[in-house]
């Protein structure tokens, strides 16, 4: 058992039984029995909670639920946790306060959901912040979430807001906030949908963020994934579509003894950056304020800005190449490398030299369904067609003949793998791929082909 999981109390792992029989060895693996303390039998949660949410069961919470230090809340595959809120105040948009360990173990065939009532699971709820997200304190345990839908978070913070995370009462909360510099965030194959501000904000910690889909994150501002001081790890094979500001922002801002060092590679970023009104903000990938890392093999399609590396980043320790840029508007082409940054076009970058040039040839997504030449930039979310902020049914895989196939650099670096790897609780941190973007020609990489709302 990995050391990081030893603090999770009461988890029963599969038992391996080896039996010799003549010249053959028969290996029987008993059925996995995974639990975290007692099974939770009530369908309504409130106050202090620990234990296991059962597979196939639906649970509800109308007020905050709290996981105490040393305790674990575990969601088994196919479980649902429904927030009963309205987003109007902190008392009517409940959050999950995680001072212990939170685990959600959905599977490819049996997803988990942390969402809102069915009648609110539609595009009209984008940005309304029906619940308060998962808020992990500075001394929390690990956060392990796999094949889970996290939808419509972002309700306003209350008077007892965490000053390390939010500036004032009333600030919209992030779908996930994580602040333990010694903790692990393993976030794989999930959907983050319709948040009011950042989909995720990692202020400190070790991370592996792999193969997720971020849709319509941020109403007027906010990233899909916002990374701050003391965060180290890997971000790869994610799809970000329609974020208000950046797909992925990496910064060393904040106090802490560990410099931010994150690898951002093989991501696909589409239609991001258009709702942010602040000058110089909003685009695709942004490294700033002392952050370092490696940036390779990313696909940027119709984003307000391409790669932005500011002069106050740790420029000497940032390496980047093999990005693919597409736009149908000359204004976006002019910002493939943000003009207020220091990033330059690299020898292996692929770029539209004129509007609509070098179409990436997605299997099922029309990159020209919205003509940006007709758009005022920035633009309010009400002026944006749903098709450019939330994907519906799609396939961002690359058709034969795509100019992005076999144009990535798979050998330039290895992921840092700062979190434990393998098994039920560990990460599957993938190496860089040979094709640019989150979807690889061999069928690996991101395995999502439909919007979060397509699943029930």
Task: Collect the ranges in the chain with pLDDT lower than 50.
Answer: 1-32
The pLDDT value recorded for residue 34 is: 66
The pLDDT value recorded for residue 35 is: 62
User: Nearest 5°: CA angle at 404, between 402 and 410?
Assistant: 140
Cα–Cα distance measured from residue 44 to residue 103, given in angstroms and rounded to the nearest whole number: 19
pLDDT tens per residue, range 438-456: 999 999 999 999 999 999 9
3-state SS class at 453: helix
The pLDDT value recorded for residue 442 is: 96
- How far, in Å, are 284, 343, 438 from residue 336 at the CA level? 10, 10, 19
The pLDDT value recorded for residue 5 is: 47
- Structure tokens, 314: 């740790």
Which conformational region is residue 274 in: left (phi greater than 0), alpha (psi within -120 to 50 degrees), or beta?
alpha
The pLDDT value recorded for residue 25 is: 33
Quick check: 155 and 93 in contact, CB under 8 A?
Answer: yes
- Structure tokens, 231: 């965060």
Number of helices (H) and strands (E), helices first, in the chain? Answer: 1, 34
Quick check: 67 and 97 in contact, CB under 8 A?
Answer: yes
Half-sphere exposure of 372 (CA within 13 A, CB side): 25
Quick check: 369 and 334 in contact, CB under 8 A?
Answer: no
The pLDDT value recorded for residue 391 is: 66
Question: What are the DSSP E strand ranges found in 163-290?
Answer: 176-178, 184-188, 191-193, 200-202, 205-210, 213-215, 225-227, 231-236, 239-241, 248-251, 261-265, 268-270, 285-288
pLDDT tens per residue, range 101-138: 999 999 999 999 999 999 999 999 999 999 999 999 99
- How far, in Å, are 63, 195, 279 from residue 11 at the CA level? 27, 32, 49
């Amino acid at each position: 058992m990995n050391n990081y999981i030893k603090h999770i109390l009461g988890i029963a792992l599969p038992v391996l039984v080896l039996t010799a029989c003549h010249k053959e060895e028969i290996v029987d693996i008993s059925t996995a029995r995974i639990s975290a303390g007692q099974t939770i039998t009530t369908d309504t949660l409130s106050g202090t909670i620990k234990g296991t949410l059962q597979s196939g069961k639906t649970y509800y919470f109308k007020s905050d639920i709290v996981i105490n230090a040393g305790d674990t809340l575990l969601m088994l595959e196919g479980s649902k946790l429904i927030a009963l809120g309205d987003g109007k105040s902190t008392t009517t948009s409940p959050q999950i306060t995680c001072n212990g360990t939170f685990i959600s173990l959905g599977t490819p065939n049996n997803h988990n959901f942390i969402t809102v009532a069915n009648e609110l699971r539609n595009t009209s709820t984008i940005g309304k912040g029906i619940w308060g997200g998962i808020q992990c304190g500075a001394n929390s345990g690990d956060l392990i979430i796999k094949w889970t839908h996290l939808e419509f978070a972002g309700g306003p913070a209350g008077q007892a807001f965490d000053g390390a995370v939010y500036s004032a009462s009333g600030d919209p909360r992030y779908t996930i906030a994580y602040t333990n510099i010694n903790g692990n965030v393993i976030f794989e194959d999930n959907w983050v949908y319709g948040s009011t501000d950042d989909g995720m904000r990692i202020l400190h910690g070790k991370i592996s963020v792999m193969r997720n889909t971020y849709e319509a994150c941020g109403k007027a501002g906010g990233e899909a994934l916002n990374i701050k001081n003391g965060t180290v790890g890997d971000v790869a094979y994610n799809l970000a579509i329609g974020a208000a500001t950046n797909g992925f922002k990496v910064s060393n801002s904040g106090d802490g003894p560990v410099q931010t060092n994150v690898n951002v590679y093989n991501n696909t970023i589409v239609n991001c950056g258009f709702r942010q009104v602040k000058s110089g903000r909003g685009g695709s990938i942004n490294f700033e304020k002392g952050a370092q890392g490696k940036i390779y093999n990313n696909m940027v399609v119709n984003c307000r800005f391409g790669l932005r590396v500011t002069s106050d980043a740790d420029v000497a320790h940032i390496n980047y190449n093999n990005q693919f840029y597409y736009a149908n508007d000359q204004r976006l082409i002019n910002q493939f490398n943000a003009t207020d940054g220091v990033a330059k076009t690299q020898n292996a970058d692929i770029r539209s030299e004129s509007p609509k040039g070098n179409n990436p040839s997605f299997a099922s997504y029309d990159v020209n369904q919205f003509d940006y030449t007709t758009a005022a930039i920035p633009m309010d979310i009400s002026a944006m067609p749903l098709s450019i902020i939330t994907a519906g049914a799609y396939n961002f895989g690359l058709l034969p003949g795509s100019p992005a196939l076999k144009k990535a650099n798979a050998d330039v670096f290895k992921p840092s793998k700062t979190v434990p790897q393998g098994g039920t609780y560990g990460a599957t941190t993938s190496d860089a791929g040979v094709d640019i973007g989150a979807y690889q020609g061999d069928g690996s990489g991101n395995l999502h082909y439909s919007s979060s709302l397509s699943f029930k």
